[in-house]
Amino acid sequence: MLKRNAARKIAAEKLATADKMRKTANHDLFYTETATALEGYLEAKYSLQKSEFTSGVVYDKLIESGIEANLANDVKCLLDDCELMRFAPVDGKRERMDEFYDRTSVIIQRFEGING
């Protein structure tokens, strides 16, 4: 229960910051905060260490934990996409930022739905 609450709190705080960055079109900080929301949530929920945090390791850990393959794959794809958006020169279109924000929120909600 404590892990779930800590994970939820981390995600909520980071998503709130990401939302502010999205509204001000701060591309770099938006993607950093969005990725940190999902990463922080998963780190707290599944006791992952930052040093082992890659999309492949996360995918494997989720599968080992009994998470359905579709959700684990969605997480992996979002983490990979966030990494690309954070470090590759891409446009800062609002629509793309909205999509990332929504994808991150939905994935976290799906995890919360699994555990009530």
- What would the DSSP string read from start to end of 44-79? HHHT--GGG--HHHHHHHHHHTT--HHHHHHHHHHH
The stretch 65-71 carries a mean pLDDT of 95
**pLDDT grade for 77, boundaries at 50, 70 and 90:** very high
Residue 88 tokens read as 């590759």
**Full-model pTM:** 0.83
**pLDDT grade for 6, boundaries at 50, 70 and 90:** confident
Contact 75, 38 (CB under 8 A): yes
Considering the chain, what percentage of its residues have pLDDT values greater than 90?
A: 49
pLDDT value for 75: 95
Q: Collapsing DSSP states into helix, strand and coil, what is residue 34?
A: helix
Contact 108, 45 (CB under 8 A): no
Residue matched to tokens 């555990």: 115
CATH number of 2-114: 1.20.120
pLDDT value for 116: 47
Question: What single-letter amino acid sits at 29?
Answer: L
pLDDT value for 65: 92
